Amino acid sequence: MINIEKFKSDCNKGKCNRSTMKSKQCLKDYKQEQCFKKYNNQLNRNKEKIIKLNEKNQEKYKEKKVEQELKTEEYRQNCARGIYPEQEIDEEWERVKSEVWMRDKTCRLWKILNEEEKNWLRENDPNVLYFNKIIGVAHVISRNRSTNLYYESNNLYLLGWGFHFRLDNFRNPLTNEEITKEEIKQWWIRIIGKELYEWLEENNK
């Protein structure tokens, strides 16, 4: 955690610890103090959430791992005997999708944008309103990078289709310009918080 002096110094250098859109207001002392309070409040909320998550999910991951190993072994044995399972509805995926919809209700990225960013989108991107009409479940840690977080609700968030598409294709969700893997990470940190993102990375096995 950084102190207010370091926070203000970063602001003056053009580095935003909250990953928000920069403006001339960022150089003003009162604005920096407001942002610092919001930064600390978000950190405290995330710490409480991480503690609860660790307590809740420690046993859950162990059980899931054992369950997955048993299913894999059963599948291998059936295939060896020439028995192949029929395509079935993934009930666990349907369950966790429903949980995410009940929790988020709408696009999480749109919710964290400030009014300046929303107005910029309205003026410069004719598709922005369409983005929020089609909403789906997006993985923070992608499916091909982690299997044990596939059904983890804290790795899943609702995103408007356009934002989801751009992030998956290494493009800035606002400007549609090409961005790096690190910049994608910073967007997810802004959406869900740094500590929760780090928790997901630590549990990415």
Question: Is this prediction's pTM over 0.85?
Answer: no
Count of H helices and E strands in the chain?
Answer: 9, 2
Evaluated on CA atoms 177, 178, 183, 185, the torsion sign reads positive
pLDDT score at 158: 94
Sort 135 into a burial class: Cβ within 10 Å, 0-12 / 13-18 / 19+: buried
pLDDT score at 78: 63
pLDDT score at 107: 93
164: nearest Cα among 136, 191, 186: 136
CA–CA gap between residue 50 and residue 198 (Å, rounded): 10
pLDDT along the chain (205 residues), means of 10: 74 73 73 75 70 65 63 63 61 90 93 90 75 84 82 92 90 90 94 92 83
CA–CA gap between residue 49 and residue 194 (Å, rounded): 12
pLDDT score at 12: 77
The set of residues, in sequence order, having a beta carbon less than 8 Å from that of 132 and lying 6+ positions away, is 106, 107, 110, 160
Sort 16 into a burial class: Cβ within 10 Å, 0-12 / 13-18 / 19+: middle
Evaluated on CA atoms 94, 96, 102, 107, the torsion sign reads negative
pLDDT score at 188: 95
